[in-house]
Amino acid sequence: MNKEKTKEIIKPGWHKLIDKAYAITDMLSFAEIKDITTNHSMLQIHFDSALDNSQQYVLDCISYKIERESAKICEECGLNGFRRKDILHSPCLCTVCYTIQYNEKMESVSPQVTNQEPQ
């Protein structure tokens, strides 16, 4: 999977984390990204298995660090955020993005309110 294709799938707030992961693969000759996914509202980096245990440990630590960072970054805009449990799939959102998504959700399930009197 390449960086551009990954950025098409992952929301824009996490694009800097994706850039960071690919920058690490440029620095470490043994690091190669197999896949980038989301799970429990966090970004997960899956590296190809390294031949050496110490190299694998480094890759696991990098993956863990990026996953933990994504749990504190709004996946929509990249500002500080946290996981929201009252929206389906509990996305990691800042207050502004959360408010927008929550309002959209409520408008889709609430009846339309009008100023007309009942007849």
Which residue range forms the structural domain that includes residue 63?
3-109
Is 116 inside a domain boundary? Answer: no
pLDDT tens, position by position, 79-88: 999 887 766 6
Q: Which alpha helices (H) appear in 11-70, and where do they start and end?
A: 15-27, 53-70
What integer pLDDT is reported at residue 118 of this predicted model?
A: 60
The domain tally of the chain equals 1
pLDDT tens, position by position, 20-50: 999 999 999 899 999 999 888 899 999 998 7
pLDDT tens, position by position, 43-69: 999 999 878 999 999 999 999 999 999
Is 114 inside a domain boundary? Answer: no
What integer pLDDT is reported at residue 58 of this predicted model?
A: 93
Instruction: State how far the Cα of 25 lies from the Cα of 4, in Å rounded to an integer.
Output: 15
